[in-house]
């Protein structure tokens, strides 16, 4: 529907004076307000409802018992599972290491993945804000100037004066508005807002994952340093034994083959150092990258296992609230929300579309005559569009959106199950870590005592070199096993905090 008549330049027009606003412009305002009122109704498509959390009373089938203590050993403290306590923020500080705190803080500030996640959140926020702009009319200003000549020998002149050659100046303002009658735009905003929320939780997951990776990598590096020190200790003992055997050979109390065998055993022990040094170097490189530095710029961390305190109290929170704490679960929920709103957009696209357009301007052959009485024009119109046939595009897009919603729902359920599995796995690991450390500690003490006895017996000549070699190998392996068992308790504790969705407090400004 179009209202108005044409002016001398062939444009739709109705004259006006600057102090007399056109009544048609007011009519368009009333029409837009009415359309906004209609658009305040219900939106097309399904409404999103948050999935109910699992009715879980505990994380594992069997009741949790405190882990046993290993007396007299660093990292051998008993650990208690507190089922009603809240999971702490900045959980890595519970390890009591300033060096670990420094590494995590450096990673949270400088790792590029954090900057990427923050930029993704800003992008999602701006996309949502841009879509909200569709709630309002679009206003465009246009000004045109042209030099024209009419074919007066064939057609009637455009100007009332009958002049064939003239200049024409036309400034105008165009207002267009698409009322959100069936909620397509509101559903689009809802979907983008949900995607923004998912991106915010992705940022939280980046913080959590990065802190856990730094903690476990630092613990691994500390374990390797202790393994290298233990291996060097065993090598020193083997060197002492070799010196004793060489003196015995000089005295003729043992055969030369025994000395060669001990030299071979010592070389085998020394050969275990380069692989450990290589693993430590690779771990230091990984730690450098996690903290946002080049490997060449990284100063090796002095962290050792003895510098860490094993958290004795492990707050687990209420199991049914795990879906609230885990950022990956919340992100999956937000993606389900976005997919549900996208179905509403697809449904609304099947329904009629209404648009309103209005123009207000002036046309004159001289700029000084613009906006004078008789040069103004306006037009207002509304259109109703309904797609009757499009090769099934809209229907199939709706079905695709519904399938995407089903996929997001299944992904959410899978994420919830994985979250509970992560916690259960960490709890099972901690339940057995104490027993493993206790056994490894006893084995290390027994192997050390055995080696001391055998070395003394070798010095007295009461046993042969084979017993010494066996005792050295057993002691070296027992030392490494004990160190790895200690590191395992620290690493599994960090894994539990990560699985529980331990949050990261906002970072204070640097400097």
pLDDT for 20 beyond 70: no
Distance of CA 14 to the CA centre of its chain: 58
Checking if the pLDDT of 262 tops 60, the result is yes
Q: Locate tokens 């290589």: which residue?
A: 278
Residue 13 domain flag = no
Q: Quote the tokens at residue 184.
A: 């397509």
Residue with tokens 């306590």: 85
Mean of pLDDT values over 83-99? 90
Average pLDDT over residues 70-95: 84
pLDDT at 425: 95
Is 35's pLDDT higher than 60?
no
* Rounded average pLDDT over 160-167: 87
**Average pLDDT, integer, range 275-285:** 95
**Rounded to whole angstroms, how far apart are CA atoms 443 and 440?**
5
The verdict on residue 47 lying in a domain is no
In the predicted model, is pLDDT for residue 446 greater than 50? yes
3-state secondary structure 206-263: HHHHHHHHHHHHHHHHHHHHHHHHHHHHHHHHHHHHHHHHHHHHHCCCCCHHHHHHHH
Q: How confident is the model at residue 492 (pLDDT cuts 50, 70, 90)?
A: very high
Query: What is the mean pLDDT of the segment spanning 56-76?
Result: 80
Q: Give the count of domains, the chain.
A: 1
Segment 221-232 shows an average pLDDT of 93
- Among 70-79, 167-176, 364-373, 449-458, which stretch is predicted with the lowest mean pLDDT? 70-79
Give the list of residues 6+ apart from residue 267 with CB closer than 8 angstroms, or none.
none
The answer on pLDDT for 6 being more than 60 is: no
Q: Do the domain assignments include residue 288?
A: no
Q: What is the mean pLDDT of the chain?
A: 86
Q: Model confidence at 4, in pLDDT bands (50, 70, 90)?
A: very low
Does residue 223 contact residue 489 with C-beta atoms inside 8 Å?
Answer: no
Q: Answer whether 262's CB lies under 8 Å from 466's CB.
A: no
Q: Is residue 504 part of a domain?
A: no
Q: Is the pLDDT of residue 2 over 50?
A: no
Question: Cβ(121)–Cβ(200) under 8 Å?
Answer: yes
d(CA 98, CA 110): 18
> pLDDT for 320-331, tens place per residue?
899 999 999 999
CATH number, domain of 259, equals: 1.20.1600.10
- In terms of residue numbers, what domain contains 191? 52-137+181-226+254-270+304-351+391-499
Instruction: Give a yes or no: residue 478 inside a domain.
Output: yes
- Interval 178-188: pLDDT, tens: 999 999 999 99
What pLDDT is stored for residue 435 in this prediction?
Answer: 86
Residue scoring higher pLDDT (8 or 413): 413
Sheet holding 138-149, edge to edge: 138-149, 165-177, 353-362, 376-385
Query: With contact defined as beta carbons under 8 Å apart, do 157 and 164 qualify?
Result: yes
Centre a 10 Å sphere on the Cβ of residue 376 and count the other Cβ atoms it contains: 23
Q: Quick check: is 294 in a domain? A: no
Q: How far is Cα 356 from Cα 175, in angstroms, rounded to an integer?
A: 8
Of 163-167, 413-417, 465-469, where does mean pLDDT reach its minimum?
465-469
Structure tokens at 472: 């050295």
320 within 8 A of 55, measured Cβ to Cβ: yes
Residue 63 — pLDDT band, cuts 50, 70, 90? confident
Query: What's the rounded mean pLDDT across residues 384-392?
Result: 90
Residue 30 in this model has a pLDDT that exceeds 50: no
pLDDT band at residue 256, thresholds of 50, 70 and 90?
confident
User: What's the pLDDT score for residue 509?
Assistant: 65
**Does the residue 259 lie in any domain?**
yes
- Cβ(54)–Cβ(64) below 8 Å: no
pLDDT (mean) for 460-483: 82
Q: Quote the CA–CA distance of 463 and 465 in Å, as a whole number.
A: 7
More confident residue, 243 or 99: 99
Residue 57 lies in a domain: yes
Of all residues in the chain, the percent with pLDDT exceeding 70 is: 91
Residues 247, 14: Cα–Cα separation, whole Å:
121
Instruction: Report residue 389 as tokens.
Output: 């046939």
Confidence of residue 34 (pLDDT cuts 50, 70, 90): very low
Closest CA to 331 of 441, 208, 247: 208
Helices 184-250 & 465-499 angle (0-180, nearest 10)? 170
Tell me the pLDDT tens digit for each residue of 125-147: 999 999 999 999 999 999 999 99
pLDDT band at 238 (very low <50, low <70, confident <90, very high): confident
Cα dihedral 479, 481, 486, 490 in deg (nearest 10): 140
- Percent over 90 (pLDDT), the chain: 57
pLDDT tops 60 at residue 23 = no
Poorest-confidence range of 294-298, 407-411, 487-491? 294-298
pLDDT(406) > 90 = yes
The pLDDT of 223-245, averaged and rounded, is 87
277 to 231, 270, 306, 475, 496: CA distances (angstroms): 11, 12, 20, 20, 29
Q: What is the pLDDT of residue 172?
A: 96
């Amino acid at each position: 529907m179009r209202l108005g008549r044409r002016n001398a330049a062939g444009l739709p027009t109705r004259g006006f004076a600057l102090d007399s606003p056109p009544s048609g412009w007011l009519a368009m305002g009333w029409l837009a307000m009415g359309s906004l009122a209609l658009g305040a109704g219900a939106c097309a498509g399904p409404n999103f409802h948050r999935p109910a959390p699992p009715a879980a009373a505990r994380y594992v089938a069997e009741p949790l018992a405190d882990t046993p203590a290993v007396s007299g050993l660093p990292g051998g403290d008993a650990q208690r599972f507190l089922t009603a306590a809240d999971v702490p923020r900045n959980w890595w500080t519970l390890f009591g290491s300033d060096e670990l705190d420094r590494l995590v803080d450096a990673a949270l500030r400088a790792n590029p993945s954090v900057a990427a996640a923050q930029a993704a959140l800003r992008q999602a926020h701006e996309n949502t804000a841009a879509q909200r702009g569709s709630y309002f009319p679009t206003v465009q200003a246009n000004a045109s100037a042209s030099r024209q000549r009419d074919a007066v020998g064939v057609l009637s002149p455009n100007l009332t004066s009958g002049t064939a050659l003239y200049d024409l100046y036309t400034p105008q303002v165009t207002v267009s508005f698409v009322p959100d009658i069936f909620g397509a735009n509101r559903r689009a905003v809802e979907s983008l807002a949900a995607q923004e929320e998912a991106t915010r939780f992705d940022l939280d997951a980046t913080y959590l994952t990065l802190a856990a990776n730094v903690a476990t990598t630092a613990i691994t590096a500390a374990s390797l340093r202790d393994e290298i020190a233990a291996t060097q200790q065993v090598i020193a003992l083997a060197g002492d034994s070799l010196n004793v055997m060489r003196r015995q050979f000089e005295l003729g109390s043992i055969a030369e083959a025994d000395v060669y065998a001990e030299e071979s055993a010592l070389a085998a022990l020394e050969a275990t150092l380069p692989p450990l040094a290589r693993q430590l170097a690779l771990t230091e490189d990984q730690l450098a990258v996690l903290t946002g530095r080049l490997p060449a710029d990284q100063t090796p961390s002095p962290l050792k296992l003895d510098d860490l305190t094993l958290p004795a109290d492990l707050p687990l929170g209420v199991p049914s609230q795990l879906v609230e704490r885990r950022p990956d679960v919340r992100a999956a929920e937000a993606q389900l929300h976005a997919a549900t709103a996208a179905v509403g957009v697809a449904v609304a696209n099947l329904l009629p579309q209404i648009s309103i357009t209005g123009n207000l301007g002036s046309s004159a052959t001289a700029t000084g005559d613009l906006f004078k009485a008789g040069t103004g024009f306006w037009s207002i119109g509304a259109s109703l569009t309904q797609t009757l046939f499009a090769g099934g595009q809209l229907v199939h897009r709706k079905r695709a959106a519904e399938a995407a919603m089903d996929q997001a729902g299944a992904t959410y359920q899978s994420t919830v199950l994985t979250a509970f599995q992560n916690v259960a796995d960490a709890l099972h690991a901690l339940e057995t870590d104490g027993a493993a450390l206790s056994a490894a500690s006893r084995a290390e003490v027994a192997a050390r005592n055995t080696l001391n006895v055998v070395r003394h017996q070798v010095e007295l000549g009461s046993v042969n070199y084979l017993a010494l070699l066996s005792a050295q190998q057993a002691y070296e392996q027992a030392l490494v096993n004990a160190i790895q068992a200690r590191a395992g308790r620290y690493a599994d504790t960090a894994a539990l905090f990560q699985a529980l969705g331990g949050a990261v407090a906002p970072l204070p400004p640097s400097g």
